Structure 1
Amino acid sequence: MLDDEPTVCQIVSLVLGSEGFDVISCSEPASFVSLCREKNPSCLLVDVVLPEISGLEVLKELRKHSFERPIIMMSGRSDIETAVQAIKEGAFDFVTKPFRGGDLVTRVRAAISPVKRQASPPIFHFPGRPPLTLRERDVLHELIGGRSTKEISRCLNLSPRTVESYRANLMRKVSAKNLAELVRLAIAAVRQRT
């Protein structure tokens, strides 16, 4: 967990620790990135607002180094623009502060075990396109299954607006003009691997 507020680190450590999670807190971004690459934790919590650089820059740095674990961004600012940017940069989820302990536990559990819902979602390969994040692959898998935004939001424990953001980002990444084309391209991308 990366947050410059000691109180937040203590509360999150207590809440997640009481549920059996091991929590390592850090307040310095460069040390945090090194620690993540060394320890490869199951899930990361990263505050957006940090004194030196933003949490979004930390997110980009981790993704640049091919760190594939789910990253949950946290912020006291609840503006949609920041949340959408975090999702586009590869965040698994976005949590606004203050948050309820039970809600945070639910989101962390969803992040570390998304494939326990059903069979593991396929890996999609779109040559010449940016790779999909873990959450984008989950959403795309559900879209191929013909599920609506509401169904996907319930299944993945996301808000409908967040699902729409993922869908728009997927369409941009693969240059799909509409949902039907996105699904067609995704099915073709899976067939290429098999």
Structure 2
Amino acid sequence: MDIRKGRLKPISGQLTATLIAPAYFNLPINGSDEYMRETTRIDLRYEKHELSEHLPRIESLRGRIIATTLFTKSFYHDLPTQQKHFSDDIIVTFFHSVASLQWTSEKPNCFLVTLLLPIKCSDQLIIPTFHSCLMSRVYALEVRLKLHGAPSLKLIAPMQIQFKEDEPVLPSYTG
């Protein structure tokens, strides 16, 4: 994505963003009061042009978790389509403020920064990802990043949600 200081100003650099989600988002089991808490990572790489002095700043960082249920009535004759067999629900929204970025220099004109994005689901009923012959439930993490001098950047990553069993505790036989 091109970064500019103003709408009619020349391009000051190129920004690349990568959303790195964990392999699994874990839901606690066994009646604990814990909730799903995971951290995702956003890697930003900025290659500035020689005329540019400033590095990009974040205006806002928003996100949401979208649950999609796909369903059908028959095994073979009725494949799910966008018009009649999809149901989307936004189950969690979040907003984070980022005061400043700690850019590190990789090369003379290339800078990197990593943002850690905590995600907590506490007040919604979430079921694990599943697939059956007639129904599936899948999740996606969508993050919108707004930088000064650039249009909004939308990153989407699939989420695999699973149950996490509590660590077994062995009884103590010492007296």
Q: TM-score, normalised by structure 2?
A: 0.21
Larger radius of gyration between Structure 1 and Structure 2: 2
Q: Could you say which structure has the higher strand fraction?
A: 2
Superposition TM-score, scaled by structure 1 size: 0.19
Q: Give the structure, 1 or 2, with the largest relative contact order (CA under 8 Å, sep 6 or more).
A: 2
More helix by share: 1
